Homo-oligomer: A and B are copies of this chain.
Amino acid sequence: MARSYYSTVFDQPADQVWATIRDFNNYPVWVDGAGESRIEDGRTGDAVGAVRDVVYQGRRIRQQLLALSDVTRSQTYAFCEPSPLPVDHYQATLRVTPIVDGDRAFVEWEATFDCGAERREELSEFYGSAFATWLGSLRRSLER
């Protein structure tokens, strides 16, 4: 199982971090480099099954929301085929957990996927780095 994982600490309360990322259509609000985004078929960004069609660094990407939980402050999504990189069965989860000590947030981003053995290490590192970059971008958006 190829797996990418990144986690970090935010100084904002968990509910505040979650409020920003919860809506599946909010991607361009907090991810630098993400342009126009829309949810297909007139659905809302909190509807499980919704597909977002987003332009990221000039490239159109389609992703589907597979699960959303206000209990665990988490969302799970997958790429609609074809995925932009040579991976199969890609599934990612973004989760926000309260840090009681200091009223902060522990934020995790994990993906699992299949790919050719020769690119497994490279792609695992790629997504891990991307998660770090996007959470850096989320941090800046929360500090504005």
Contacts and interface: CB of A to CB of B under 8 A. Distances in A.
Interface string A25-51: 000000000000000000110111100
Interface string A104-139: 101010001111110010000000100010000000
A8 interface: yes
Contacts of A9: 9, 99, 101-102, 104, 106
Contact of A1 (B71, B102, B114, B128): B114
A76 to B, nearest CB: 6
Chain A residues touching B, majority SS: strand
Interface of A: 1-3, 5-9, 43-44, 46-49, 66-72, 76, 89, 91, 97-102, 104, 106, 108, 112-117, 120, 128, 132
Given A1-B3, A66-B71, A68-B69, 17 more contacts: A1-B89, A1-B91, A1-B112, A7-B100, A9-B101, A9-B102, A9-B106, A47-B47, A48-B68, A48-B69, A67-B70, A67-B71, A71-B91, A97-B106, A99-B106, A100-B128, A116-B116
